[in-house]
Amino acid sequence: MEYIATIGMEVHAEILTQTKMFCPCPNDLTAAGPNTHTCPVCLGMPGALPTINRTAVEATILTGMALNCSIAEFTKFDRKNYFYPDLAKGYQVSQYDLPLCSNGHLDVLVDGEPRRFGIRRVHLEEDTARLVHGNGVSLIDFNRSGVPLMEIVTEADLHSPEDAHAYLTKLRQILRYLGVSTGNMDEGAMRCEANISVSPKGSSVLGTRVEIKNINSFRSVRQAIAYEFERQVRVLEEGGRLQQVTMGWDENNLRTVFQRSKEGAEDYRYFPEPDLPPLTIDEHWFKSIQGRMPELPDARCARVTEQYGLRTADAELLTQDRLVADYYEDVVRVCDKKIAPQTVANWVLVELFRLLSETNTEIARCPVSPAALAELLGLLTAETINGTTAKEVLSEMFRSGKGAAEIVEARGLSQISDADALRTVVLQVLEQHSGPVQQYLAGKSQVMGFLVGQVMRQTRGKANVALVTDILRQALAERNQA
């Protein structure tokens, strides 16, 4: 029998804010030692009173807007009651029946095919503390307790590991474009769970849902869903029945493992959070958030392709990351039509990307500013330097932070475009290599490459290649006539 998988995704993303969700403690998980960013509110002390972080609310609404959701005019927070050592209060403040955003969708390409995945809801809640296990003890770090967290839930519209991978990739790209989350899965800033059920192909009845938690990388998403699909099919094929359970993804053994039987919503005894006022999002507030919507990845890719006449694949690479797209467009702007946008794209995508990746540097910390790259490309276009020298100069700019003209001047790298000087070198080369010259004259034209190479060598790579080729052709023609 053939089976199909039906998958829903839940993504938790930590929101980039200065302070935590309900208290003024810094939202900063990197700099401080454990339990340094805490107060009575995020430690869950009885009687401590929370306040709502406006920036986190706005970031969630902005995300909902980017995911084509309806934004609630009236919303509230609820208590989700459960006990766990990383949850000091015994409940998490979350949103239950009135999420900030609902009924949206995200359009994604899966293997080149357009797909639309429904977004059921985007709601706002607080993160728990972090448990650190080791040496026979478990420690708790409350710095993460109360960090603003948004939960993004899809409809059960996905059917394969590829769907899930494409969805997550697009979602993370949007979160980063919006600047609302780093989306870094390896740091736990974006975490994902998948609900998966299998049913015979053509059946209208869905199978039993199994939830997979602890999926910590894009690769694991694919592996976990593929594994769980096969496991469930095997159980059904053997005449077994599936239980509604929560499984965890075991990254080391590449398998899902049983964690616990799944709680239903009733187990959480949700009720409205009595210490926080409900929120009304009026038209004025709605519009002011809408006004902050940046150009989103698909729109930007389409515009960049059209406006600069780029190859689609190049435009996609350049707009994958908002900061790269900003960098590229800055260079083009400084070049002010003197250099073809496709040339700029080639230099960013090949040479600059190589230097960034070799040194593991993010574009935000690129030591070569857009203006500096434009200056280098200007020298290249003006034929002050040739392409080989330009690559060398860019490497040095990257290392030293110096300007292109400064490096060219200091190292005497200017291109030799003096025809008389080059002719002298060409004649020397022809004298030194009479063998290849004879071959050329006998009709073996590919020897030209060798002779050009010899001239470049004698000029330490600084000769104007086009000019060298011209002079060589002319000199060889003269010999032919002689």
* DSSP-assigned letter for residue 80: E
What are residue 310's DSSP bridge partners?
A: none
Q: Which is nearer to Zn ion, 41 or 168 (CB)?
A: 41
C-beta of 60: minimal distance to Zn ion in Å?
Answer: 20
Task: Please list, residue by residue across 33-44, b when 16 or more beta carbons sit within 10 angstroms of its beta carbon and e when fewer do.
Answer: eeeebbeebbbb
C-beta of 206: minimal distance to Zn ion in Å?
Answer: 42
CA-closest candidate to residue 154, choices 111, 218, 100, 103 = 103
Please pick, from the candidates 15, 16, 23, 404, the single residue that binds Zn ion as defined by CB under 5 A.
23
C-beta of 78: minimal distance to Zn ion in Å?
Answer: 20
Q: Which is nearer to Zn ion, 15 or 377 (CB)?
A: 15
Task: Please list, residue by residue across 213-243, b when 16 or more beta carbons sit within 10 angstroms of its beta carbon and e when fewer do.
Answer: bbbbebebbbbbbbbbbebbbebbeeeeeee
Residue 25 sits in the site that holds Zn ion (CB under 5 A)? yes
d(C-alpha 328, C-alpha 347), whole Å = 10
Residue 42 sits in the site that holds Zn ion (CB under 5 A)? yes
- Check if the beta carbon of residue 177 is closer than 8 Å to that of residue 323: no
**Total site size for Zn ion, rule CB under 5 A:** 5
C-beta of 128: minimal distance to Zn ion in Å?
Answer: 13
C-beta of 24: minimal distance to Zn ion in Å?
Answer: 7
Q: Which is nearer to Zn ion, 35 or 208 (CB)?
A: 35
C-beta of 19: minimal distance to Zn ion in Å?
Answer: 8
- Check if the beta carbon of residue 43 is closer than 8 Å to that of residue 193: no
Query: DSSP states of 311-364 as a string?
Result: -HHHHHHHHSSHHHHHHHHHHHHHHTTSS-HHHHHHIIIIIIHHHHHHTT--GG
Residue 48 sits in the site that holds Zn ion (CB under 5 A)? no
Q: Which is nearer to Zn ion, 41 or 334 (CB)?
A: 41
Task: Please list, residue by residue across 156-179, b when 16 or more beta carbons sit within 10 angstroms of its beta carbon and e when fewer do.
Answer: bbbbbbbbbbbbbbbbbbbbbbbe
Q: Which is nearer to Zn ion, 91 or 308 (CB)?
A: 91
d(C-alpha 95, C-alpha 85), whole Å = 21
Residue 39 sits in the site that holds Zn ion (CB under 5 A)? yes
- The window from 32-40, 50-58, 175-183, 190-198 that contacts Zn ion (CB under 5 A) reads 32-40
- The window from 34-42, 185-193, 242-250, 471-479 that contacts Zn ion (CB under 5 A) reads 34-42
Q: Which is nearer to Zn ion, 148 or 207 (CB)?
A: 148
Length of the chain: 482
C-beta of 25: minimal distance to Zn ion in Å?
Answer: 3
CA-closest candidate to residue 386, choices 395, 397, 376 = 376
Q: Which is nearer to Zn ion, 147 or 379 (CB)?
A: 147
C-beta of 143: minimal distance to Zn ion in Å?
Answer: 9
- The window from 36-44, 110-118, 327-335, 376-384 that contacts Zn ion (CB under 5 A) reads 36-44
- The window from 40-48, 211-219, 265-273, 288-296 that contacts Zn ion (CB under 5 A) reads 40-48
Q: Which is nearer to Zn ion, 25 or 194 (CB)?
A: 25
Spatial CB neighbours of 168, under 8 Å, sequence gap ≥ 6: 9, 11, 192, 218, 221
Q: Would you tell me which residues interact with Zn ion (CB under 5 A)? A: 23, 25, 39, 41-42
